[in-house]
A and B are shown apart, each in its own frame.
Chain A
Amino acid sequence: MEFYLYLALFSPLVGSLVAGLFGARPKTLLTGLFTSTLLFTALVSSTILLVHILDGGDIIHVELMTWMATGDLYIPFGFVVDQVSVVMMMVVTLVSTVVHIYSIGYMDHDKGFNRFFSYLSAFVFSMMILVMSDNFAGLFIGWEGVGLCSWLLIGFWYHKESATWAANEAFIMNRIADLAMLIGMFLIYWTTGSLQYDIAFAEFAHVDVETLTTIGIFLFIGAMGKSAQFPLHTWLADAMEGPTPVSALIHAATMVTAGVYLVVRANPLYDLIPDVGYFIASLGAFVAMFAASMALVNRDMKRIIAYSTLSQLGYMFVAAGLGAYWVALFHLMAHAFFKALLFLGAGNVMHAMDDELDPFKMGGLKKHMKWTWIMMTLASVALAGIYPLAGFFSKDLILEVAFVEHHYILYAVLLITAMMTAFYSFRLISLIFHGTERHKQHGFHPHETYTFVLIAMSPLAILALVAGFLFKGSYIEMVTTLLPATEYHIHSPIVFWIMTIGTQLLVGLSIAYAYRKYEHAKIDKKIEDNFFYKLLINQWYIPHFYEEYITKPYRELSMIAWKQVDLKIVDASVDGIANIFYKTGEATHNMQDGNLSTMLRWMVAGTAVLLILAVAFTTGYLMLLLAFIVGYLYVNRLRREYVR
């Protein structure tokens, strides 16, 4: 089994390196095929490992070699395949295989074809390290690795100012969170003496709650960066500058869920500090609604889906924060399938529409792109949580968790958000695929994408359809051997049915409303002048706030630090001191002008001073004062004479 572990881990790396060798060359289809094949290998290996674990096989734990060892610190490259990581491995390899094959079609005409595949596979490798590591430091390698790849891929079209700007924003904002993550790790090390999961988690039982709370908070701040939780969320929407397959893989299915994975992985820690957990859940619920609100009005197809991702991440954090780790992980998995599908569908639409992103310029596309329409609708239905698609089983479960745990406010927030989700999803579907063909006015000639691309997408479509009712049972059985096996059942059957059917009805109504309202894509001027509309379309003015009150002051402060402080104060005082010596030298060098009488006078003056000092030290300070006065007068006279 170890062999499959290494195969799953390193095949993406090999693919990336080989593709990287051709990085600067013009397109060679081979790099795409080669990396995809290796990704498929990783997928097969992961499946074998999954079957092994499902069969009740032992957890596979290997140590490749030492990474860092100094003092008492010992960090190996260790990897573990257990019930949690194998789920993540499946999600990562499956979605990335699909995305790789899809990209062969999507990046068909791109100059950077080879480079793209190199980056994409490197990302998968980092992600595998992130989920498979058996210690926090290894997780951090993957954590930063995916950050790097995200930077490379968001800024993939580096001639675009907006793309490179977004890439830098994503990297820097993630770095803020990474610092918290590092601090959390330091605290874990100095508290438990190790960064290995098993050792540290076992030690936590003996650690005081205060320290644990601090650790929990810092780790969660780290998670907030990668999973783009408020207030570190702005980068995710801007990250849509990257190629669409990247958005599907990195900014929907895998990397952004790393934060959720971290909380799930650290469940022994968060179980001990329910207060932090409650905070996580509340923030998650807030983000769920907050992000959905921005998706309601946006006119950029990819941004709408990005906000939707953000919102769903909020759902996952609610589950994780309330201790329902397996529910969070389940939603993570289901969401990966249908959200990646949604993004890939959006990619097809973009290709058909010459990279146009405004759905108001589309309409009626279902005639031209039937399969894309079907798949995107399927994904949206799943996202809305309609029975029997995947979203129903995972998302409604989170609502139930909130309800059963008596967090009714969270429940209400999530319920309203579910309606908003249904609304904005079908607003988008309606605008793109239904109604009149507005794109004709803009001179677009939409066409369906390559067949092999559609076939590549089909596994995701099937999973979005069946993942819920087919896998839920065996999934629960598997992961609850590792995660707390709390069951969330509403005991009264009446309440259960009212809630389930009620939710379905509300969501269904939202869908119908969105569909009707946007079928004709009328832009309502009155609404656009509305205060709330402005608030939402400007993303609650948060990016504006960051620009005005953080970025700009930092830039200005930096200029001040350089021009005013460094040059005018620090350096100027150094030069000032040097100048004192220069000036005194210049002013006094005439003292030794070789003129015998001048020099004799100075000699007398010197002797006098010495004598006076000698007298002063023997007879006291009064004399010293007197001597100074006398000396001063003498020297002054001498100087006057000398000047003359």
Chain B
Amino acid sequence: MLDNILTILIFFPALAAMLGFVVEKGSIRAFGVSVATVEFVLSLALWYAYDPSVVGMQFMESMPLIPAFGINYLLGIDAISLFIIVLATFITLIGIATLGEVKNIKNMIITLLFLEMTMIGVFSALDAIVFYVFWELSLVPMLYLIGAWGGPKRIYASIKFFLYTFTGSLIMLVGMLFMAYFYYQATGAWSFSILEWYRLVLPENLQLWLFVAFFMGFAIKVPMFPFHTWLPYAHGQAPTIGSVILAAILLKMGTYAFVRFSLPMFPDAAVFFMIPIAIIAIIMIIYTAMVAYAQEDIKQVVAYSSVSHMGVIILGTFALNVEGITGSVFLMIAHGVVSGALFFLVGVIYDRRHTKMMSEFGGLAHVMPRYATIFGVMMMASVGLPLTINFIGEFLSLLGFYKQSHILTLLAGTAIIVGAIYMLTAYKKAFFGEVTNEKNKNLPDVNKREMFALIPLVIITIWLGIYPKPVLEPINNSVEAIVSLMNEKAITQEAKNRIPDPMAAKVSTPHGGTH
């Protein structure tokens, strides 16, 4: 079974979703949870079977699709994709399990299962075309989620989301086609295999153009400043589950793609664009944190904070050394857990009060102490307190980039200040003070169903904050492979200097220093 586990992981939820159409409405919830559970267990099996000591892709599957153009159904994962896949199945599971009362619940669960397929497809595809297909397919269920279950401006938000990201992806597709064409010119054979593309050393000039083409697709997805404005609308209108998945997984497609495509394929371009991108990342960090501080709607605070944290991820990615990239990949997971949890938490209060305006709340700590505690833990994780999952990622990302630029890291480091400002202010507004609003006097605290989603997230947040090794070590090994590939491929002297060879460092200072 392990030989085809990725295919099973991808298509099992899709098949189950189709089956879902004939399931009775009363039992669809149980059906959805069972499917998601099986899927989650499968992904855990994948983690269990994954061998962190092996360098390169594992669980590879290959089947020709269009042999004439070298398009194959090519799958495989390394640790970078592995943990995002596990996170995706996990978030989908708790998302479905904790769905509240929604209309057309059947359609929603089917949509979520389809979405799960596209997510896992993106993170396990090793063929550019397969990747692109899943990448675009993921838009459809999300469009439907926002458009069908969203708030009053849902149509505007969903169309904006779709068109904006779609435009970016088209430019990326052009880049992919050109890449394949260049591969054809260089080798005489067509290939869309990412692994084949890795081997190609492109002239610097070409790298720059292709980097920009791919960048457009990824940057809008992340979303990077100034392409981020679709996100507040999408989050503002999406139902809770939509926001959770969007923030936890879908945004990671962009950052993941940077690590999967941009870095190993265009190392010189990555060095060339490092500083401009770092500046964009810093703008994301500071500017969106300020915008978050100005918000009146607590969900918008979380939405903008999400963009701000993505800035740190981007910065870590473009540190171009093992510490930074490992940190940024870890932060992808961390951000998935923490911002996912925060959106869940916002959903909890929205379900009770049908408003997200902070001015409507105040003093919630009196009436909902458990809710306040869990929110507090997640807020502190979001702020990046040590021994929470976020700190590891942020610390390593910034540490890594410090090697490249001291002053830019200092600016980016303000993330820990501005983050504390908007988060603590929002928390104070919602939870502290006296209960002034009559409607809040008798709010029920977090119930069992919600606990089911929140407690595991809290546990992961603290567990991986204290003991990140099970995740950090495999990621580290995969990142080392990427960095040494980049170092090997780099043409310009500048790039050679900027990208250290992790293997060389290993020899001079053995792992762990003098211990």
Chain B residues within an 8 Å CB radius of A172: 417, 420-421, 424
Of the candidates A24, A69, A178, the one whose C-beta lies within 8 Å of that of B512 is A69
Q: Which residues of B499-515 are within 8 A (CB) of A?
A: 502, 505, 509, 511-515
Chain A residues within an 8 Å CB radius of B366: 159
Contact A68-B409, Cβ < 8 Å, known A158-B433, A558-B294: no
Q: Is B425 an interface residue (CB 8 A)?
A: yes
Chain A residues within an 8 Å CB radius of B295: 562
Return A377 CB to nearest CB of chain B, in Å. Answer: 38
Q: Is A546 an interface residue (CB 8 A)?
A: no
Q: Is A6 an interface residue (CB 8 A)?
A: no
Chain A residues within an 8 Å CB radius of B228: 570
Chain B residues within an 8 Å CB radius of A72: 322-323, 505, 509, 511
A574 touches B164 (CB 8 A): yes
Chain A at the B interface: SS class: helix
Return B192 CB to nearest CB of chain A, in Å. Answer: 30
Contact A562-B396, Cβ < 8 Å, known A63-B515, A141-B386: no
Closest to A164 in B: B432
Q: Is A513 an interface residue (CB 8 A)?
A: no
A68 touches B385 (CB 8 A): no
Q: Is A586 an interface residue (CB 8 A)?
A: no
A70 touches B326 (CB 8 A): yes
Chain A residues within an 8 Å CB radius of B395: 68, 137, 182
Number of A-B contacts (CB under 8 A): 160
Of the candidates A70, A171, A578, the one whose C-beta lies within 8 Å of that of B420 is A171
Of the candidates B402, B425, B432, the one whose C-beta lies within 8 Å of that of A186 is B402
Q: Is B352 an interface residue (CB 8 A)?
A: no
A23 touches B409 (CB 8 A): no
Determine, out of A188-196, A419-427, A434-442, the stretch whose residues face the partner at the interface: A188-196
A24, B374: Cα distance in complex, Å: 13
Determine, out of B69-77, B448-456, B464-472, the stretch whose residues face the partner at the interface: B464-472
Chain A residues within an 8 Å CB radius of B402: 183, 186-187, 190
Map CB proximity to A onto B462-492 as digits: 1 under 8 Å, 0 otherwise.
0000111100110110011000000000000
Return B183 CB to nearest CB of chain A, in Å. Answer: 31
Of the candidates A23, A67, A190, A554, the one whose C-beta lies within 8 Å of that of B290 is A554
Q: Which residues of A140-170 are within 8 A (CB) of B?
A: 140-141, 144-145, 148, 151, 155, 158-159, 161, 164-165, 168
B373 touches A23 (CB 8 A): yes
Closest to B476 in A: A70
A73 touches B515 (CB 8 A): no
Closest to A563 in B: B294
Chain B at the A interface: SS class: helix
Closest to B366 in A: A159
Return A170 CB to nearest CB of chain B, in Å. Answer: 10
Q: Is A71 an interface residue (CB 8 A)?
A: yes
Q: Which residues of B262-318 are within 8 A (CB) of A?
A: 287, 290-291, 293-295
Return A376 CB to nearest CB of chain B, in Å. Answer: 33
Closest to A75 in B: B395
Q: Is B347 an interface residue (CB 8 A)?
A: no
B425 touches A168 (CB 8 A): yes
A67, B230: Cα distance in complex, Å: 38
A559, B370: Cα distance in complex, Å: 32
Interface size of B in residues (CB-CB distance below 8 Å)? 71
Map CB proximity to A onto B382-402 as digits: 1 under 8 Å, 0 otherwise.
000111000010011011101
A137, B409: Cα distance in complex, Å: 18
Q: Is A199 an interface residue (CB 8 A)?
A: yes
Q: Is B142 an interface residue (CB 8 A)?
A: no
Q: Is B431 an interface residue (CB 8 A)?
A: yes
Chain B residues within an 8 Å CB radius of A619: none
Q: Is B229 an interface residue (CB 8 A)?
A: yes
Map CB proximity to B onto A54-80 as digits: 1 under 8 Å, 0 otherwise.
000000000101111111111010000
Q: Which residues of A5-27 are within 8 A (CB) of B?
A: 23-24
Of the candidates A71, A171, A178, A574, the one whose C-beta lies within 8 Å of that of B505 is A71
Q: Is A630 an interface residue (CB 8 A)?
A: no
A607, B417: Cα distance in complex, Å: 63
Q: Which residues of B211-267 are within 8 A (CB) of A?
A: 225-226, 228-230
A578, B230: Cα distance in complex, Å: 12
B387 touches A168 (CB 8 A): no
Map CB proximity to B onto A187-213 as digits: 1 under 8 Å, 0 otherwise.
101100110100100000000000000
Return A471 CB to nearest CB of chain B, in Å. Answer: 34
A74 touches B515 (CB 8 A): yes
B513 touches A189 (CB 8 A): no
Return A200 CB to nearest CB of chain B, in Å. Answer: 10
A148 touches B380 (CB 8 A): yes
Contact A570-B326, Cβ < 8 Å, known A171-B424, A190-B402, A558-B294: no
Closest to B431 in A: A158
Q: Is B35 an interface residue (CB 8 A)?
A: no
Closest to A185 in B: B399
Chain B residues within an 8 Å CB radius of A68: 392, 395-396, 468, 472
Closest to B419 in A: A175
A74, B396: Cα distance in complex, Å: 11
Chain B residues within an 8 Å CB radius of A165: 428
Return B513 CB to nearest CB of chain A, in Å. Answer: 5
B386 touches A140 (CB 8 A): yes
B513 touches A199 (CB 8 A): yes
Q: Is B403 an interface residue (CB 8 A)?
A: yes
B416 touches A178 (CB 8 A): yes
Return B383 CB to nearest CB of chain A, in Å. Answer: 8
Chain A residues within an 8 Å CB radius of B196: none
B229 touches A158 (CB 8 A): no
A190, B479: Cα distance in complex, Å: 19
A563, B232: Cα distance in complex, Å: 13
Of the candidates A70, A76, A159, A561, the one whose C-beta lies within 8 Å of that of B515 is A76
Return B166 CB to nearest CB of chain A, in Å. Answer: 12
Q: Which residues of B361-381 are within 8 A (CB) of A?
A: 363, 365-366, 369-370, 373, 380
Q: Is A482 an interface residue (CB 8 A)?
A: no
B417 touches A190 (CB 8 A): no
Chain B residues within an 8 Å CB radius of A562: 290-291, 294-295
Closest to A157 in B: B432
Return B370 CB to nearest CB of chain A, in Å. Answer: 7
Contact A561-B290, Cβ < 8 Å, known A68-B396, A69-B472, A148-B380: yes
Closest to B415 in A: A179
Closest to B422 in A: A558
A155, B431: Cα distance in complex, Å: 12
Q: Is B98 an interface residue (CB 8 A)?
A: no
Return B409 CB to nearest CB of chain A, in Å. Answer: 7
A159 touches B373 (CB 8 A): no
Q: Is B410 an interface residue (CB 8 A)?
A: yes
Q: Is B413 an interface residue (CB 8 A)?
A: yes
Chain A residues within an 8 Å CB radius of B323: 70-73
A554, B433: Cα distance in complex, Å: 23
Binding site for A on B (CB under 8 A): 160, 163-164, 225-226, 228-230, 287, 290-291, 293-295, 321-323, 326-327, 363, 365-366, 369-370, 373, 380, 385-387, 392, 395-396, 398-400, 402-403, 406, 409-410, 413-414, 416-417, 420-421, 424-425, 428, 431-434, 466-469, 472-473, 475-476, 479-480, 502, 505, 509, 511-515
Binding site for B on A (CB under 8 A): 23-24, 63, 65-74, 76, 137, 140-141, 144-145, 148, 151, 155, 158-159, 161, 164-165, 168, 171-172, 175-176, 178-179, 182-183, 185-187, 189-190, 193-194, 196, 199, 554-555, 557-559, 561-563, 565-566, 570-571, 574, 578
- What are 23 of the A-B contact pairs (CB < 8 Å)? A24-B370, A70-B322, A70-B327, A71-B321, A71-B502, A73-B396, A76-B515, A137-B395, A155-B432, A159-B432, A159-B433, A161-B433, A164-B432, A165-B428, A168-B424, A172-B417, A172-B424, A554-B293, A558-B293, A561-B291, A563-B294, A566-B291, A578-B163
Given pairs A68-B468, A190-B403, 8 additional interface contacts (CB within 8 A): A67-B467, A70-B472, A70-B475, A70-B476, A183-B406, A183-B409, A566-B229, A574-B230
Q: Nearest 10 CB-CB pairs, A to B?
A: A71-B322, A571-B229, A186-B402, A558-B294, A562-B294, A558-B290, A71-B323, A164-B432, A141-B386, A70-B326
